[in-house]
Amino acid sequence: MIGGMANSPISAPTPRAASVATERLLLRPVRQADVPAITRLWTDPQVRHHLGGPVAEQVVRIRQRRVVGAPGVHAVVRAADGVLLGIVTVEPEAREGETEVSYQFLPEHWGHGYAREAVAAVVEATLAGTPSVVALTQEANHRSRRLLEAVGMTHVSSFVEYDAHQVLYRRSR
């Protein structure tokens, strides 16, 4: 679900934040032109492998109408060429009152450190305005677990939810 942050200053993202920038990336509100790539995130079997599988067509249509400018949903684009790589979502008070960060990236952009960079930037910025941030991933999602640990999050609990073994990570100020 959820990278190394560049040493550039960023402002704390609020649910309606305009953008967050890192050395290589711009995290900004979703635009209409982003919808086809984001639809791929919701329907790609590789992306959705640890997220319960591809989203049903009816749900995709509803999400397509709601994602543009949605509070807390950041389109992650490569600053050099504007290519959409994925999304990072910030949900205040999502899990027992704590802010939850989640992410999805298109498979062709995996392994380049983009997710780690984007997630690290969002976690750092979010911690400026909230005492802690959590992230949830499946126990079997080893890549996501390594990413969460790389951005300073700590495994705090394991449990079964959504018919799968889950792990909850937290980072506090």
Which residues, in sequence order, are bridge partners of residue 73? 89
SS3 65: helix
Q: Is the dihedral of CA 57, 71, 137, 164 positive or negative?
A: negative
13, 3 Cβ separation under 8 angstroms: no
- Output the pLDDT for position 102: 97
- Output the pLDDT for position 149: 98
112, 143 Cβ separation under 8 angstroms: no
- Separation between Cα atoms, residue 51 and residue 47, nearest integer Å: 8
- Output the pLDDT for position 17: 53
Q: Which domains does the chain have, with CATH numbers?
A: 20-131 (3.40.630.30)
- Separation between Cα atoms, residue 19 and residue 60, nearest integer Å: 25
Residue with tokens 């802010």: 99
DSSP string, 96-150: TTEEEEEEEE-GGGTTSSHHHHHHHHHHHHHHTTSSEEEEEEETT-HHHHHHHHH
Q: Tens digit of pLDDT per residue, the chain (173 long)?
A: 433 323 323 334 444 555 899 999 999 999 999 999 999 999 999 999 999 999 999 999 999 999 999 999 999 999 999 999 999 999 999 888 899 999 999 999 999 999 999 999 999 999 999 999 999 999 999 999 999 999 999 999 999 998 999 999 999 99
From residue 130, how far is each of 11, 27, 35, 38, 172 by CA, in Å? 13, 19, 30, 28, 9
87, 114 Cβ separation under 8 angstroms: no
DSSP H or E stretch at residue 77: strand 73-78
